Structure 1
Amino acid sequence: MTPSRIAALREALATRVVVADGAMGTMLQAQNPTLDDFQQLEGCNEVLNLTRPDIVRSVHEEYFAAGVDCVETNTFGANHSALGEYDIPERVHELSEAGARVAREVADAFGARDGRQRWVLGSMGPGTKLPTLGHAPYTVLRDAYQRNAEGLVAGGADALLVETTQDLLQTKASVLGARRALDALGFD
């Protein structure tokens, strides 16, 4: 996060329509990644940030070429519960940072071509465990969302997007985790 990019994003949001990208998962799957690409973790799209950044990059490039202002990182499942289903919850920060880094590189490349600012939205998806129903402890989820946000910021996200939550306690965990990360890193 750089103060000038954040200020420019806030200004754009206040003064005009800002267009973001669309589906990530279906576009990744359309490129037929192999089981080896997934490190034998079939369907774990976030692993592609490391094993096949070219595929992830191509999705971001397609959206920017179509004229969007923002792309979301390939990190919808880079959270404790989703990665826990693959037995890799300790990789939250690593995969979040890698996803943001790929998106940032593409955004900067497109901006360098035409001078138009492009932004990266750090996607913080809901995961599959609902704390209200006792699927996972609230504090575990909150702390993992903090690692998720810290990785996204380290990789170059301009903003954090908490999306598609279905449980108010899950939403609270993600928002407070993000806030704790931003506070710890000195960002707003």
Structure 2
Amino acid sequence: MTAAATDAATRAAGLREALASRVVVADGAMGTMLQEQDPSMEDFEQLEGCNEVLNVTRPDIVRSVHEAYFAVGVDCVETNTFGANLAALGEYDIPERIFELSEAGARIAREVADEFAAGDGRARWVLGSVGPGTKLPTLGHAPYVALRDAYQQNVEGLVAGGADAILVETTQDLLQTKASVIGARRAMAASGVDLPLLVQVTVETTGTMLLGSEIGAALTALEPLGIDMIGLNCATGPDEMSEHLRYLSRHARTRVSAMPNAGLPVLGKNGAHYPLSPAELADAHESFVREYGLSLVGGCCGTTPEHLRQVVERVRGLTLAERAPRPEPGAASLYQTVPFRQDASYLAIG
């Protein structure tokens, strides 16, 4: 094993140990902070809004976002690769750049993480962000195999760039989620690494994922794939996530995470803004850790370094709530899970 591979294995093991023993804090929003620096159309290579291109053309901008989050004390940052997938890059007619942009995004985050770790000796980690894209295979928008293979390229790039874990996030369609997870598994096997695989689904204000899947269906479908963690991110603020996190805390064999938005967006004359204050986000995460034993917390849309600074101050040193999950073996459709619980009548599955 090379020195680089040994270092990567050591970091992954350290992250697994941290997630099992304490609260790990991730970063917050990426896209809004990039846009605040007003990149030009030249920076985007005329592909307006394709943030992943900035990994190549303006690594200084991407680096500054990672530095801002590490400076307030977070343990890990997510790579600027949310859209480095077949669906999103396909809309810009550059799907052949999935690996390139994924590797570049991970490499930038790795460099910043290593600099901060060298500065004070405290471990910093890089979460390779795998976003959902815009195609829902359940609805026939794109073939499952094509999505799976492209996610494999995405994760191979993240591994090559130095990611310490893979974060499949903001998933809205369980078939798309499976494509991401299987693609990630294939990439790790091809690269000869074993990184933590974290999955976060997105539950809308309706109480289900976009296609109607309840949180129980998500857990039943995804946990057997050998993921290290399941959680929620995006779509809502922490209040709307609470009951779903309670369910995961009670039933998930894996660790549980949450990265909510800064509340529900409020439309004003200058567009949408997110109303949740840094103190309110910190309150929510403290409650989640104490009640549900969450071991990874962070932020999504509308959250800033100040939000995460207060989260760090509030949760660092907290003892994880004891969890005694009661898994419910069962089968799941797209929409709901059916526990294998035999009552007086016969059990029909179909």
| Fold shared per TM-score above 0.5 | yes
Match of 2:144 among 138, 148, 153: 138
**Aligned-partner residue type, residue 34 of structure 2:** L
Match of 1:175 among 167, 181, 185: 181
Residue 143 of structure 1 deviates from its aligned partner by 0.1
Query: Any unmatched runs of 5+ in structure 1?
Result: none
Answer yes or no: is 1:89 the counterpart of 2:98: no
Residue 186 of structure 1 deviates from its aligned partner by 1.4
**Aligned-partner residue type, residue 16 of structure 1:** R
3-state SS of 1:8 partner: helix
Query: Which residues in structure 2 correspond to 1:16-165 (within 5 Å)?
Result: 16-165=22-171
Q: How many residues align?
A: 188
CA offsets 1:121-176 (integer angstroms, 9 cap, x no match): 00000000111111111100000000000000000000000000111110010000
Residue 8 of structure 1 deviates from its aligned partner by 0.7
Q: 1 CA distance for matches of 2:23 and 2:157?
A: 28
CA offsets 1:54-90 (integer angstroms, 9 cap, x no match): 0000000000001000000000000000000000011
Q: 1 CA distance for matches of 2:192 and 2:65?
A: 31
Q: 1 CA distance for matches of 2:12 and 2:170?
A: 23
Q: 2 CA distance for matches of 1:3 and 1:138?
A: 31
TM-score calculated relative to the size of structure 1 = 0.99
**Aligned-partner residue type, residue 160 of structure 1:** I
Q: 1 CA distance for matches of 2:152 and 2:44?
A: 25
3-state SS of 1:78 partner: coil
Q: Compare the two structures and name the one with the higher strand fraction.
A: 2
Q: Compare the two structures and name the one with the higher helix fraction.
A: 1
TM-score calculated relative to the size of structure 2 = 0.53
Residue 187 of structure 1 deviates from its aligned partner by 1.4
**Aligned-partner residue type, residue 150 of structure 1:** E
Q: Where do 4+ consecutive residues of structure 1 move more than 3 Å?
A: none
Residue 4 of structure 1 deviates from its aligned partner by 0.6
Q: 2 CA distance for matches of 1:14 and 1:31?
A: 37
Larger Rg: 2
**Aligned-partner residue type, residue 127 of structure 1:** G
- Asked which structure has the greater RCO (Cα within 8 Å, sep 6+), the reply is 1
Residue 22 of structure 1 deviates from its aligned partner by 0.5
Q: 2 CA distance for matches of 1:22 and 1:47?
A: 20
Residue 45 of structure 1 deviates from its aligned partner by 0.1
Match of 1:186 among 192, 195, 199: 192
